[in-house]
Amino acid sequence: MLHEIGAASIDDLFAIIPEEYRLTRDLAIPRQMGESEIVEWFRNAAAKYTIRHTSFLGAGAYRHYRPVIIDSLVQRGEFLTSYTPYQAEITQGTLQAIFEFQTMIAELTGMDVANASMYDGSTGAAEAVMMAVRVTGRHRAVLASTVHPEYREVLATYTKHQGLPTTTIGYDDTTGRIDLAALEAAVTSETAAVLVQSPNFFGVIEDIPAIAAIAHKKGALLVVSIAEAISLGIVRPPVEADIVTMEAQSFGVALSYGGPYCGVIAAKEQYVRQMPGRLVGQTTDRNGYRGFVLTLSTREQHIRREKATSNICTNQALVALMATIFLTVYGKEGIRELAEHNLAKSEYTARVLSAGPGARLRFSGAPRFHEFVLHTDEDPAAWHRRLREEKIVGGLELDRWYPELKNATLWCTTEIVPREKIDIAARELAAVPVEA
């Protein structure tokens, strides 16, 4: 080929690179490995700590059972190795699947429309607030401190340079819900959006109707963030919200140490033209057959450039497909049954863990889904050590983000945690060494 295109050597093709910048040595990276060596390398990395353990960690990343067919289907090359469906005639498979995803998300959240995905729940929340700014033309935001701390950090990063001051509202110490009085006081006619999470970071379900009333009274939009999508199986959807942003990881997506996950934004119909991200719409072909296309792209960066609603291009399509398959597997009845199992497991865990003398539940004043905050007299570091002996990872220490919540830990029990492990955890928690 070189010869045919009239090049003497491959370096001719790189002659345009100024000599002084050409790399004349090998890159200092590991030598080329055989496939078997690569697999071995990652097996060893994975084996550094056993996975055959039980974890009570949640806090925005949830381990649910992943039906087998999800991976069987998303690994089909036709899905795995295609890209954004720019050419509708040969990407109808991806397009129809996204259309089905948009519909399912809308059905679950009680919104009219949903987009094709955002990076994750945290960026989704930030984009949702900026969307509210575009819709209202206002430039202030109010949010609850019970929104996932890392979501709040991301929001801060996004809003910092947009002249968008934000106010954070604390929580009621008995319910763990947002302090409504403080909220009422903070929302003004300047407020573009009120952002809350429900179930919130403590696992507590917020009083959405009351919050909506406060926001709407002042003409602000209510943005509800949902970090645990499975909750929608049993928890009333935030229908009073104007925009719902959600992390869909619980819908059949592996924990994978934090990503890739799948954010979504759903909203009331009238706000669709201010939505960020891709949207798939139904249409017909020249012969009158139904087909699907990417639509309303005048919102997007490749057309609108600096005036786009967002700079997002590559999204989380394959992960959204996983969620679509997951939701099809569980379906109307399954998603509720699954949510009920999570509720039951977590109720049981809360009961047995708080049974001992040295432990008590926080925020029991309001309903919750499958997470709860436990206060222990003993320093968590101490019982964490005991639990590890049993190959159990206990609840997450909250003082990392909430200094006022010393010795408080956030526990999550999904359907996959066996009762025996819960009982062992309770036993170990109660087993405070005498000298302590």
Partner 1 sequence: MSDVLTPEVPGTVPARKSRTLGKVRPHQTQNEALVFEKSSPGKKAYRLAQLDVPKVDAAALLGENVRTESAGLPELSEIEIIRHFTRLSTWNYAIDLGMYPLGSCTMKYNPRVNELVARIEGLAEAHPYRPDHLAQGQLDVVDLLQQCLLEITGMDAITLQPAAGAHGEFTGILLTRAWHESQGNPRRTILIPDSAHGTNPATAAICGYSVENLKSNGQGGIDLEALASAVNENTAALMLTNPSTIGVFENQIHKIAEILHAKGALLYMDGANMNALCGKTRPGDFGVDVMHLNLHKTFSTPHGGGGPGCGPVACKAFLEPFLPIPVLVKDANGEKRWNYDRPQSVGRVRAFFGNFGMFVRALAYILANGPDGLRQTTEDAVLNANYIRHKLQDLYDLPYKTASMHEVVFSDRKQAKSGVRTGDIAKRLIDYGFHPYTVSFPLIVQGALMIEPTESESREELDLFIDAMRQIAREVEENPQVVLDAPHSTRVSRLDETTAARKPILRWRKA
Ligand X SMILES: Cc1ncc(COP(=O)(O)O)c(C=O)c1O
Does the CA dihedral 65-69-111-143 come out positive or negative?
positive
> What letter represents residue 350's amino acid?
A
Enclosing H/E stretch for 176: none
Judged on CB neighbours under 10 Å (0-12, 13-18, 19+), 22 is exposed
- DSSP-derived letter for residue 286 is T
Across the beta sheet with 371-376, the strand order is 359-362, 371-376, 408-412, 396-397
Sheet containing strand 263-267, edge to edge, reads 113-114, 263-267, 243-247, 221-226, 191-197, 140-144, 166-169
Q: Is 160 in the site for a copy of itself (CB under 8 A)?
A: no
Residues 70-129 that bind a copy of itself (CB under 8 A): 72, 75-76
Of 142, 169, 192, 205, the one binding partner 1 by CB under 8 A: 205
Would you count residue 236 as binding partner 1 (CB under 8 A)? yes
Does the footprint of ligand X cover residue 313 (CB under 6 A)?
yes
x/- contact string, 415-434, with a copy of itself (CB under 8 A)?
-x------------------
Q: Please answer whether residues 235 and 206 qualify as being in contact, where contact means their C-beta atoms are separated by less than 8 angstroms.
A: no
Contacts with ligand X in 363-382 (CB under 6 A)? none
Residue by residue, DSSP assigns 201-218 as TTSBPP-HHHHHHHHHHT
Among 5, 23, 68, 434, binds a copy of itself (CB under 8 A): 68
Nearer to ligand X, 316 or 414 (CB): 316
Which of partner 1, a copy of itself, ligand X, none does residue 222 bind (CB under 5 to 8 Å by kind)? none
Of residues 328-367, those binding partner 1 (CB under 8 A): 328-341, 343-345, 347-348, 367
- What does the DSSP 8-state code read for residue 407? T
Q: Shortest distance, CB of residue 418 to ligand X, whole angstroms?
A: 39
Q: Residue 320 Cβ, how far from a copy of itself at the closest point, in Å? A: 22
The contact mask relative to a copy of itself for 18-47 (x = CB under 8 A, - = no) is -----------------xx--x-------x
Q: How far apart are CA 79 and CA 101, in angstroms?
A: 15
State the virtual CA torsion across 131, 134, 138, 144 in degrees, nearest 10: 0
Token pair, residue 292, equals 């699907």
Closer by beta carbon to a copy of itself, 27 or else 68: 68
Among 176, 203, 237, 252, binds partner 1 (CB under 8 A): 237
In the bound complex, what is the minimum distance in angstroms from residue 123's beta carbon to a copy of itself? 31
Query: Taking CB under 6 A as the rule, does residue 303 contact ligand X?
Result: no
Question: Among residue numbers 26 through 45, which ones bind partner 1 (CB under 8 A)?
Answer: 26-39, 41-45
Binding site for a copy of itself (CB under 8 A): 35-36, 39, 47, 52, 65, 67-68, 72, 75-76, 416
